Structure 1
Amino acid sequence: MNIEIIQIPKIEDNRGNISIIENDVVPFEIKRVYYLYDIPSSSKRGGHAHKEQFELLIPLSGSFDVVLKNGKEERIIALNKPDKGLLIKSNVWRELNNFSSGAVCLVISSGVFDEDDYIRDYEDYLKHLNA
């Protein structure tokens, strides 16, 4: 599957931890950053694939699951550590669910918002893969 866990550098000391995201951590030029928060535990987010864009998902607080599909297999990745991000490359279907109370998901994207880059229907996604 076209995904990868990215280790985010962490500096630890007795005052707490700090993680730094710079160009050498993210394997693409950063074009957009947004975050999801105040998500009810029963809600689902995502439910789409990108034709071109890459995204790096980082759980800044709490935890959530990412359901990933590529038309052949399905994987569920639990994200719960702010020093580990999930890189989702193009043409991977993603759904986020099982949010803990207070969960915050930071998303770093390789592109600005472009509705034409989204595939929002799973059947259309499967057709896109077979085209």
Structure 2
Amino acid sequence: MKDFRELQEHAEGGWEEGRAGAVPTRVAGVSLHRLPRFSDLRGSVTVGEFDRSVPFAVKRYFLVFDVPGGEARGGHAHRQCRQFLVCARGSCAVVADDGRDRQEFALDRPDLGLHLPPMVWSVQHRYSPDALLLVFASHYYDADDYIRDYDGFLRILSFHGGVRR
């Protein structure tokens, strides 16, 4: 896959069986990943392998589900933690913002993953009633790693020269 548009088109129109790939996006450090998917008469399987599919060592995971209609989750950035999001069931939208560029991604297939590096603001919203969002994290939970105020996030970026990872 050469660019995000091509990846989106393949994701929406179906890819060659089992084909995987990742592409960068407009938001610094954020990448959209296509995980291998195999289907036959018995059903479908999507495969993800740590150190291959997820671009960091995973220390924690959590599931987001039963989100009431119209509610949003996230609304923060992490100082050090990386995340990899897969909507295993249903769908949701993820807004990623590096302080310079902002882009929304539809996670509506279990073979699409979104990598969020540190210092990217993220909001998850438009959850379908059956959505199950699986999030892999590079760090154990640490409340001090969270930046929960968007203006504060922008000030931190400005202080550090807007450097993105």
Does the 8 Å contact 1:41/1:97 carry over to 2? no
Specify the SS of the correspondent of 1:57.
Answer: strand
| Residue number among 63, 87, 106 corresponding to 1:59 in the alignment | 87
CA RMSD of superposed structures (Å): 0.9
Size of the aligned set, in residue pairs, is 131
Shift of 1:44: 0.6
| Structure 1 residue aligned with 2:3 | none
Q: Distance in 2 between matches of 1:110 and 1:16?
A: 31
Does residue 5 (structure 1) correspond to residue 4 (structure 2)? The answer is: no
- Rg bigger for which structure? 2
Structure 1 residue aligned with 2:41: 14
Q: Would you tell me which structure has more helix in proportion to its own residues?
A: 2
DSSP-derived class of the 2:123 partner: strand
Identity value in percent: 36
User: In 2, are the aligned partners of 1:61 and 1:82 still within 8 Å (CA)?
Assistant: yes
Shift in Å at residue 115 of structure 1?
Answer: 1.1
Looking at structure 1, the residues matched to 57 and 101 of structure 2 have their Cα atoms a distance apart, in angstroms, of 29
* TM-score, length-scaled by structure 1: 0.96
1:50-129 superposed matches below 5 A: 50-129=78-157
Higher-strand-fraction structure: 1
Q: In the aligned structure 2, how far is the partner of 1:18 from the partner of 1:43? A: 30
What is the TM-score when the length of structure 2 is the normalising length?
Answer: 0.77
Structure 2 spans left out of the alignment, 5+ residues:
1-26, 160-165
SS in 2 for 1:43: coil
- Give the letter for the 2:37 counterpart: K
